[in-house]
Every structure is written in structure tokens, then in C-alpha cells.
A and B are shown apart, each in its own frame.
Chain A
């Protein structure tokens, strides 16, 4: 043996780990969001990029300002504030004024996460808290939809509006597929829904992109696939059953699955580990609950869309679900 003995360090077992870290999980989600942002830009132009930048600036700014210490980059390094910003942007209408988007990002991080004690402590999905805040504060801007395909450089007048200034009036608005179905009884062609050539929030329209991203994240075990699968399966079964009972009043499963924010929510929001149950059985219950609430709100409520409220409501009962689905101990 060499006369110079190596300096041995002491730690407790195990001396191996799976190599998976929370940071990598966050970056996997960010990576999976890239095609969604690309699709949003394709359909809604530069506004998509600007809204993403605005919500991320709001989210990262709030995180940086409100969390003291932890080095130069502070808690920004864990990637969770960036993820919140990205997710929020993709749930917003393309014509939203940028200042509102930034405010939503800041509220999502501040009231959605930090006030609870930071990463891992929050009860509700931070991005959806930000969106719920915007929906309550600016109902008009949050329900104004522009048609896709108006060109890359075409911005809605309101996009660059100053805070609290009255938005331009010449905006060409249209209705989302869910709005058309609910208020006009017109069901959009599933082909258009798959491709995303419809009105809606930035990230929710291109179903085929969302399906691919969901498969990527699920197969790489980034999220608990049970959550997404149970949510989608519940919506499919419940809505198809209603459709068979009264085909004229209720749209079928394909329309329900592909329209609105359901796929985006099932892939990116329901699967947030922090705000969904920790137990596998709890994950099934959570997903079923979200699915039932989505069907209930969409078909029987006053709103055309209910994914956000469905997820937030189920977030609220997650601790209860955890309590009643603790695993049966081996040999018990």
C-alpha cells in the first residue's frame, strides 16, 4: 500500500443512490414543456413567448425577493419557480396583457408556494393559484380568446398595455371549443382539436403534442402515471356514459378529452407530486376526483371549463386522501 493513505470519509449507508434528483425532475418537466411552448408560438405567434417570459419573470422575481439567503442564485436553482412560471403561462389566453401575466407569476409563487413554507409545503398547485387569482381579478382578460394562425408577429393590442390601462377594443375575439359546445351546441371536429388549430389557452390546444409529452414524462417515470391515467380515464368513462344516455345534450369522450385544458392539466398539473397524494391508492382516488369534477363543472356548471377548479379542489383534499390511504404494512 502506498505510504500516503487516502483520506477516508465517513457516512451512513447506503453508498449508492439512483442518481435521480429533484433538480433533474424539474428540468425534465421544463424540457417536456419546450414542444408545448413551440406549438403555442406556432399557433398564437410571438405573444406566446412574451407571456412565458412575463410569467417566468414574475415567478422568479418573487422567489428571489421573498426568499432570503441561500447563496447568489438562492432557491432559484431548484427549478421549481421556473416550472411554475412556465406552467402558468401556458394556461393563459394568448391576448393577456403581459403585466397581468407577470403579476400572476408573482402571486403563484408568493401565495401559492412561499407563504406555505416553500417547496414541498404548499397545499395548492402554485401555477393554478396564480391563474385562479388572475381569473378572479381580471375575468375579462382571462376569458378573451383570439383565433390561432394570425401570424408570428401579430400581437393583440392588449398584450403590451400598461398596467390598469383600458385594453384596446378592436381585438378580434372568438370562442373556445368548450364555449362553442356549451353555449352554441357546436362540437368542434376532433382533428382540429388534435392539431391545436383552435382557440384556447396558449398551451392547451395542441392535443397531439400534449399526448407525446405526457408519454415521455410517464415512461421516464418523472411523474406518477396513475394520476394522469386515472384523471383521463374518469373523464372518458363518465362523459361517454352521459353521451350514450343523451347524445344531443352531452358531447362524447373524444371531444371531452381533447378539448380545453384537460390534457394539459392531466399531464402537467394533476401530476405535481407536492400537491397530489403520496400513496399509490391515493393517486387513483385523486385522479378520479379530478375527472368527475371536470365533467361536473363542464356539463352541469355555469362555466365552460373546469379543469383548474377541479384540480385546486382536489389539492385541498389531498391531506385527507393521504390519511385514509396509508399503505397496509407488510405482515399486518
Chain B
């Protein structure tokens, strides 16, 4: 156990970093709904796994919430129209990953009320576990924490496996982001309800909600919402990055390490994001599939920071415009948080299901010249997976993929703590990503 635990009494993982949380810009702003815009762009690939298979063609009339692309395989999910309108076509459009990828483009019907029609809630209690998994997949639900992993896969307990504990991840350890924070404050009863649903679906006996201590109002609201439920515990955690990484969160709460190459399921644990649990509650309550999500729009480059409900497929340009536009001094626009997000070249990318934040930074990109490694060891003491990024980076540059895999290259969770602390400004996490690709490539061949 970290000696710090003994001092603070707060559970956490070992190593990690303490960046300024920068959340004061938006932490007390209530979630608001942004108005509809004229055009929506829905990439067929906005989740982990196979891209969705389109079911509509140019000229098709679509209703808000209507299925427009189906899951293509088990690790894939469905896609729905976020607005009522007309399909313009399936076009190559800029994607948050930087590529041009096929997307269904929908022109809104400006005269429609945009009410959801023809969708009714189902009787979920009457469904078998397999039917529930199918229904969740058909609703296009993915993990809303960032990786956008199809939720039905995690809600389905495979044959021979057993789930004892469900953890809801309310750490939101990325600086700047506050969307999960606001959800916990504003919708605490639904968070608890969502956790109870996931526990019932997976057969878990106990539930935990992990929240970093910089969100005391969320901890208070959730504790009140528990209403004395002994099966669920709200766990305040030390403020440290990357506390919200799945394996770190499990280590903090249970003091157990998910074995290298294994899943939390191997410890009889599943972890879901707070936002995913609430999205599941909304799905069960209304039957409406995942067509919108909550996004924190923030950073010194944004004129009016906000926590927004944004329809999936809204263009980044529209979101920024609703928030008063960018300051002229803006130098970078990032989708996601500042530690793991992606810088955008174009404002014509859509908000996809995995986007939790829009961050506009005014500092010039950190183009500081790389200097030689001085072997100070700061990266070793930051890495939550106990890797040696300094050594790995040398091996990546030497393309030694065999050595990389024996040194645990694939354990890297790309949290970027190593890059954050490196005084020589070596792009360590970038090299780690290259190294992971190298190991995967050599395993294939």
C-alpha cells in the first residue's frame, strides 16, 4: 500500500501524476441542451469494433431515433438518426481520428417538431439476458467514457464466468472535463438506478461508485441517492491521474491487480462509466436509442464554456458556434481531454459517441525541441502500469519488437503520464503507441 494512503486515508492506485484539474471553468455549469443544426454527419465507425452496416440510402426520409445502420458482428453496434430529416448520402467525411471515413449525412427537416415518434419502452423485466444484450446492441449503446466500447458486450456475462462486483467509474480524471461530474450531481438517483440495473443484469452482489475527491457535491448527491442501500458503496478516491483507467480504479478499490493481458472479468469485476449507466436508464425508461450525449465544451479558447447535451453527429463547428465561438488566440482544438484526446485539423468533424469533451487551447502546441534522455526515471515513477517508458522508447526507435513484447509493451494504457513528466520532452506516449502497433504487427506476421 502506498504510504500516502495511510496519510490521507483515501484509496488510490500507485504511481500516476497530479496535473492541475482545470475544472473550475465548467464544474458548476448546469447541463444545457443545444439547439438543432442543419446538417448531421454520422460516421459508420464511432465505436470499438466493426463499423456499422448502413441501412438507408440517398433521399431516404428518416425519423429521429430510427435505425439507420445495423451492427455488423458481435463487437459492433447500431446507429440511429439523431434528427428527423433526409439522407443526403453516404460520403467520405473528416473523422475525429484524422482520417476520411464513410458517414451517413442527414439534412434536418426544418419544419419537423423533432419529437421522437413510434418508439415505446419495452418491458425489460420480461427479457432474458440474451434478449437484453441484443436490445442494448440494437440501441447503439457504447461506453461513454471515451473508448466507446459496445456496452452489450460488457453487460453480457460469458458462459462459465461470474460477476461479483460492478464499479461505476465517476473519476473523470482527465483535466478540464466535467460532463460526468454534472451528471452525478444532476442525476444522482438515475446513476444509482443504472448501477442497480447493471448489477441485476450481470448478477453482481455489490456495486461501487468511484469518485475523485475533487467532486464533493457529486459524492454527497450520490450518497443521498443511495438511501441506505447497503449493497452499494460510494468510494471517494484521491485526485490523481489516471484514476479513471479501469485497472487503476480496480486497484484503488480492491487493492487487486488485473493480471497482464486479462480483463477485469477475470477478477469477477466489470467497470462501466457513469454516463453509460444513465444512458441505460434512459433507454429502459423511454426506449430511445443513443442519439445524443453530454459533452463538456471548455478551455481558454472557448468564449462561453458549457456542459451540453449534443446530438450525435453534430459538427464541431456548430458546437463551438453555440458556445460563442473561438477566441482568435486559439491554437488547438481537441476532442476528448488534454491527456488522451485528439487534436483536430478541421472543425467539420462530427461529435461521435465517444467524445466527452471539446477543448480549445490558446497555448501554441508544445513543439518544444526534444532533448536527450537524462535517465532521471520520472517516467518510471509516473507509469501506473509499472513499465519503463525510457527503455521502451529506445527499443521502439530501434524497432526491437521482440524485446518490446517481453517488456510489457501491450500493458501500456496510453495514459500519457510519461510524456507529461518527461523533462526532456521526449514524445514517450507517442512512441508507446508506435511500439504497441509494432508488437501487434509482428504477432500477426
Interface assignment of B387: CB less than 8 Å from any CB of chain A: yes
User: For residue B299, which residue of chain A has the nearest CB?
Assistant: A15
Q: Is the CB–CB distance between A6 and B330 below 8 Å?
A: yes
Q: Please, how many angstroms separate the alpha-carbon atoms of A17 and B374 in the complex? A: 17
Residues of A within 8 A of B388 (CB): 278-279, 326-327
Q: Is the CB–CB distance between A14 and B332 below 8 Å?
A: no
- B315 nearest CB across to chain A (Å): 12
Q: Is the CB–CB distance between A329 and B416 below 8 Å?
A: no
User: For residue B320, which residue of chain A has the nearest CB?
Assistant: A1
Q: Is the CB–CB distance between B328 and A1 below 8 Å?
A: no
Q: Is the CB–CB distance between B331 and A9 below 8 Å?
A: yes
Q: Is the CB–CB distance between A2 and B372 below 8 Å?
A: no
Interface assignment of B376: CB less than 8 Å from any CB of chain A: yes
Residues of B within 8 A of A18 (CB): 17, 19, 420-421, 423
Q: Contacts A15-B338, A25-B423 given; indicate if A331 touches B262 (C-beta within 8 A).
A: yes
Residues of B within 8 A of A15 (CB): 332, 334, 338-339, 341, 343, 359, 361, 365-366
Cβ-neighbour of A8 out of B332, B375, B381 (below 8 A): B332
Q: Is the CB–CB distance between B331 and A8 below 8 Å?
A: yes
Complex interface bits, A114-136 against B, C-beta within 8 A gives 1, otherwise 0: 00001111000000000000000
Q: Is the CB–CB distance between A13 and B429 below 8 Å?
A: yes
Q: Is the CB–CB distance between B411 and A17 below 8 Å?
A: no
Interface centre among B98, B262, B320, B366 (most CB of A within 10 A): B366
Q: Is the interface of A mostly helix, strand, loop or mixed?
A: loop
User: For residue A21, which residue of chain B has the nearest CB?
Assistant: B423
User: For residue B341, which residue of chain A has the nearest CB?
Assistant: A13
Q: Is the CB–CB distance between A5 and B416 below 8 Å?
A: no
Interface assignment of B59: CB less than 8 Å from any CB of chain A: no
- A294 nearest CB across to chain B (Å): 23
Contact count band on A = 35 or more
Q: Contacts A327-B386, A331-B247, A331-B411 given; indicate if A13 touches B342 (C-beta within 8 A).
A: yes
Q: Is the CB–CB distance between B366 and A17 below 8 Å?
A: yes
Contact count band on B = 35 or more
Cβ-neighbour of A11 out of B247, B320, B366 (below 8 A): B366
Q: Please, how many angstroms separate the alpha-carbon atoms of A276 and B364 in the complex? A: 35
Q: Contacts A9-B365, A21-B368, A329-B408 given; indicate if A2 touches B328 (C-beta within 8 A).
A: yes
Residues of A within 8 A of B321 (CB): 1
Q: Please, how many angstroms separate the alpha-carbon atoms of A279 and B257 in the complex? A: 21
Q: Contacts A6-B331, A329-B408 given; indicate if A16 touches B339 (C-beta within 8 A).
A: yes
Q: Is the CB–CB distance between A1 and B387 below 8 Å?
A: no
Complex interface bits, A260-288 against B, C-beta within 8 A gives 1, otherwise 0: 00000000000001101111100100000
Interface assignment of B259: CB less than 8 Å from any CB of chain A: yes
Interface assignment of B214: CB less than 8 Å from any CB of chain A: no
- B422 nearest CB across to chain A (Å): 8
Residues of A within 8 A of B367 (CB): 9, 11
Residues of B within 8 A of A73 (CB): none
- A121 nearest CB across to chain B (Å): 7
- B96 nearest CB across to chain A (Å): 12
User: For residue B428, which residue of chain A has the nearest CB?
Assistant: A14
Interface assignment of A169: CB less than 8 Å from any CB of chain B: no
Interface assignment of A10: CB less than 8 Å from any CB of chain B: yes
User: For residue B327, which residue of chain A has the nearest CB?
Assistant: A6
Using a CB-CB cutoff of 8 Å, which residues 274-332 of chain A contact chain B?
274, 276-280, 283, 326-332
Q: Please, how many angstroms separate the alpha-carbon atoms of A326 and B247 in the complex? A: 21
Residues of A within 8 A of B380 (CB): 278-280, 327
Q: Contacts A11-B366, A15-B343, A17-B419 given; indicate if A329 touches B260 (C-beta within 8 A).
A: yes
User: For residue A119, which residue of chain B has the nearest CB?
Assistant: B372
CB<8 Å pairs between A and B, sample of 20: A1-B320, A1-B321, A9-B332, A9-B364, A9-B367, A10-B343, A11-B343, A11-B367, A13-B334, A13-B341, A13-B419, A15-B366, A18-B421, A119-B372, A119-B374, A224-B377, A280-B381, A327-B380, A331-B257, A331-B262
If A280-B380, A330-B411 are given as contacts, then 4 extra A-B residue pairs at C-beta distance below 8 Å, sorted by A number, are A1-B321, A5-B326, A12-B429, A119-B374
